[in-house]
Structure 1
Amino acid sequence: MLKTILAVAAAGIIAGASYLVAGPNAAAAEFILYKTPGCGCCESYADYLRDNDFTVTVRPTHELTFMSREAGIPDILQGCHLAFIDNYVVSGHVSVGIINRILSERPDIKGVTLPGMPTGSPGMSGIKAGPFVIWEISESQPKVFAVE
């Protein structure tokens, strides 16, 4: 009986430690992605997220700029689509690595943005020409969240 109790306790400890190391399961969170109707790179980005085990619902809109402003993203930092996941906003072609970091660390920010449509970013064709600067969106002035 004692061996059974110890085995169950050990399994619980290992499972808990695995969760802490790996972070939350990305598939547990669902993206709602807003895009301009007909935008192909936004569809490619949605496929990229799906390929990385996220659930994605795509919603076409002609209100993307207004929605991005409402989410706190200055015009100069807006990406080509806007997504929401687990109370965070993700604007543009942000990598899954950054998204998983946010979901595991839970920073006190509104979200992140990769402005424009950088060549070679997730969902965009071409070869990456330089580092991608991902901006943090918060109540204060935007600042660099990460460089990839």
Structure 2
Amino acid sequence: MPTRRHFLGSVAAALGGAALGASGLACAATDARPQIEVWKSASCGCCHLWVDHLERNGFQVKVNDVAGPADYREKFGMPSAYGSCHTARVQGYVLEGHVPAREIHRLLKEKPQALGLAVPGMPVGSPGMEMGERKDPYDVMLVARDGKARVYQSYR
């Protein structure tokens, strides 16, 4: 016959398991946001602003401050012609430069056969490069694995 202590221990264990299960669900819900890993210079302010833009738009971001961000662009196969100040990866895609979160969400939804997206240079008005009302036109490029690219989205 179970004792009171045994009964209370069982209840406590069940409640603890339920609490762990609930916290596990909370973590799972948090982890449902796509994770982007970024390689950038520690001193680059616009890269930090781009990371903030990603976080505000539903991404988890892991930041790696490195001495040579361009080394990662090369490592991941992004042609230098599409280079910018930081490189990132999300679900197997490479992201180069100030790519808007909207286009990253679109990329992950459409899942095209591609290396990734790039915003070459550092166009004023792109996420992280805001300067008041000034907005220079720029294109988000869909870069194929062979290095060729086409316009994925234009911002005018």
Whether TM-score is above 0.5 comes out as yes
Q: Which consecutive unaligned segments of at least 5 residues does structure 1 have?
A: 1-25
Q: CA RMSD, aligned part only? A: 1.9
Q: TM-score, normalised by structure 1?
A: 0.76
Query: Per-residue CA shift, 1:97-141, capped at 9, x if unaligned?
Result: 111110100001010100111111111121443322111221232
Percent sequence identity over matched residues?
32
Q: Note the alpha carbon deviations across 1:75-109, whole angstroms, 9 max, x for none.
A: 22112111111111111111111111101000010
Residue matched to 1:138: 144
Structure 1 stretches of 4+ moved >4 Å: none
Paired residues of 1:27 and 1:55 also in contact (CA < 8 A): no
| Distance in 1 of aligned mates of 2:89 and 2:145 | 17
Partner of 2:117: 112
- The CA distance in 2 between the partners of 1:78 and 1:142, in whole Å, is 13
Tell whether 2:84 aligns with 1:95.
Answer: no
Matched position secondary structure for 2:51: helix
Counterpart code for 2:139: V
**Displacement of 1:145:** 2.1
- Max Rg structure: 2
Match in the other structure for 2:154 = 147
Q: What TM-score does the superposition give when structure 2 sets the normalisation length?
A: 0.72
Hey, what does 1:9 align to over in structure 2?
A: none
Q: Pick one of 34, 37, 40 that aligns with 2:39.
A: 34
The total of aligned residue pairs comes to: 124
Provide the rounded CA distance (Å) in 1 between the counterparts of 2:110 and 2:139.
19
2:3 is matched with none
> Does residue 66 of structure 1 match 2:102?
no
Task: Kindly indicate whether the alpha-carbon contact (under 8 Å) linking 1:72 and 1:137 is maintained by their aligned counterparts in 2.
Answer: no
